[in-house]
Amino acid sequence: MMTGEEYRQSLRRLRRTIYALGERVEDVTGHPLFQDHINTAALTYDLAHDPQHQALLTATSHLTGKRINRFTHIQQDTEDLMKKVQMLRLLGQLTGSCFQRCAGLDALNAVYNATYQVDQKYGTDYHRRARDYVARAQDADLMCEAGMTDPKGDRSLRPSQQADPDLYLHVVERRKDGIVVRGAKLHQTGAVNSHEIIVMPTTALREDDKDYAVAFAVPSDTPGLVFIFGRQTNDQRKLEGELDQGNARYGYTGGEAMVVFNDVFVPWERVFLCGEHDFALVMLEYFSCYHRSNYGACKAGVADVLIGATALLAEYNGVGANPIVRDKLVEMVHLAETLYACANGASATGRATPAGGWWVNPIMANVTKLNTARFTYDLLRLAHDVSGGLVATVPSERDLRHPEIGKYLEKYLKGAGGVPAEHRIRLFRLVEAMSSCPVMLEAVHGAGSPATQRIPMLRQAELDKKVAMARELAGIPAPAPGEAKARG
């Protein structure tokens, strides 16, 4: 297993085409825009060597018997899923941010489980390839990212109906030694500081869409890949100083990027789906349910930091003991623990997969993510309510350090009991950073927008069974075969 420093060194060896703010970036480890994202991911490596956290951050590979980082592990039972949830909350508490490796872990598990079922139907060799790939990722302790979201173009049209066929990533050539793909993936968390990209279909597909039914993995420095780093609210502050960033060490987003695939060649050994359109949804559902259940854990951990900042600001404001404020803090705790309970429930009621892995409870995973989309706004609303308006209007670090006007900030922003102005400003900036637009949008649209959770929830709700329960208790006979359900 790598250490955090070894992880940084491994990034320096990659030769990639990366752009940020219109400029080519040769080395992400030396650029201020990327330091917080790299620091956060590096923590997932360092904690695996920390005796205090090894039980959560490591696992035993079922493929090799070696001790590995849990972010490369194929879940084998309920205990694995529960430890994953505990690990994600811990990392949320330690970083107050996105630590970027969840999607890659979920992609490994999705590909591993889905390929077995493809082989069972079509006699393909995908699962053996997936097993070999997972073993390599475990041995090298690779950070993988999941290439899931396509641009989609006109969303009323299917992939094969688009005016521009590249708006969904697809196969443009099949060769004896592999395939060539073209397209793009958006919102790619941790893409610029990952070793590998695991690409999967973004939607259910039909026969006409079979060229879009493709899953594979490529190193992030594969020729033809172009990374375009996304803008973030207040990202220029990373170029100015430390205090105004709010969370300078770990940031407040996952460092998302657009990844362009310009006729990228993929060897067959790295291809896990190619044309079997009926399994696009299977792979997608494995991934989405794993990933959606995560949100109740990592966001609960981040919420713990937000609750702490809010409580401390209340003390600094002199209202920490106020019953109204205490009630708002209780509500924040309730929201965070509800998210965590959902994540644990999805894990505790999971089941074995045909491949021998372990899958979360799909309906509870979707409930977890739908709650996250709602509760994040409620948590931030309560934090803003208690913290006060200075979260949005506090002057800059330059003003605080200014030889002429700094004294006014020190005088007028001092807190209850003589708390220094700088301490209050640091907390205001932390709450501001955690309230940024990327944080809220990611809570809503990460792992799919709310509609993508509602659709499978209805499908998985087993309404007919619930109707039968109600009929039985109400004393209403079931309709005869062929009789309309609406009658009697």
In angstroms, rounded to a whole number, what is the distance separating the alpha carbons of residues 426 and 419? 12
> Is residue 367, in this structure, part of any structural domain at all?
yes
> Is residue 132, in this structure, part of any structural domain at all?
no
256 tagged catalytic: yes
In angstroms, rounded to a whole number, what is the distance separating the alpha carbons of residues 67 and 380? 39
Orientation angle between helical segments 323-348 and 78-95, nearest 10 degrees? 150
Among 338, 332, 362, CA closest to 350 = 362
Domain span at residue 433? 283-466
Return the residue matching tokens 């019953």: 323
Which of the following is catalytic: 31, 58, 73, 98? Answer: 98
> Is residue 395, in this structure, part of any structural domain at all?
yes
442 tagged catalytic: yes
Q: What angle do CA 187, 426, 92 make, to 5 degrees?
A: 45
- The one-digit pLDDT tens for each residue of the chain (488 residues) are 999 999 999 999 999 999 999 999 999 999 999 999 999 999 999 999 999 999 999 999 999 999 999 999 999 999 999 999 999 999 999 999 999 999 999 999 999 999 999 999 999 999 999 999 999 999 999 999 999 999 999 999 999 999 999 999 999 999 999 999 999 999 999 999 999 999 999 999 999 999 999 999 999 999 999 999 999 888 899 988 899 999 999 998 889 999 999 999 999 999 999 999 999 999 999 999 999 999 999 999 999 999 999 999 999 999 999 999 999 999 999 999 999 999 999 999 999 999 999 999 999 999 999 999 999 999 999 999 999 999 999 999 999 999 999 999 999 999 999 999 999 999 999 999 999 877 777 877 777 888 888 888 888 888 899 999 999 999 999 888 766 565 44
| Start-to-end CA span in the chain (Å) | 64
> Is residue 363, in this structure, part of any structural domain at all?
yes
> Is residue 250, in this structure, part of any structural domain at all?
no
> Is residue 308, in this structure, part of any structural domain at all?
yes
The pLDDT of residue 451 is 81
Count of structural domains, the chain? 1
Which of the following is catalytic: 145, 276, 432, 442? Answer: 442
In angstroms, rounded to a whole number, what is the distance separating the alpha carbons of residues 291 and 88? 11
187 tagged catalytic: no
116 tagged catalytic: no
Which of the following is catalytic: 144, 274, 289, 298? Answer: 298
CATH code of the domain covering residue 328? 1.20.140.10
Q: Would you tell me how many other CB atoms lie within 10 Å of the CB of residue 334?
A: 12
Q: What angle do CA 311, 313, 314 make, to 5 degrees?
A: 65
Its pTM stands at 0.94
> Is residue 9, in this structure, part of any structural domain at all?
no
> Is residue 433, in this structure, part of any structural domain at all?
yes
207 tagged catalytic: no
| 383, 309 Cβ separation under 8 angstroms | yes
Q: Name the β-bridge partners of 274.
A: 214
Among 15, 16, 272, 281, CA closest to 133 = 272
Which of the following is catalytic: 145, 196, 256, 285? Answer: 256
222 tagged catalytic: no
Which of the following is catalytic: 7, 112, 290, 295? Answer: 295
The pLDDT of residue 252 is 86
315 tagged catalytic: no
285 tagged catalytic: no
Which of the following is catalytic: 58, 95, 115, 189? Answer: 189
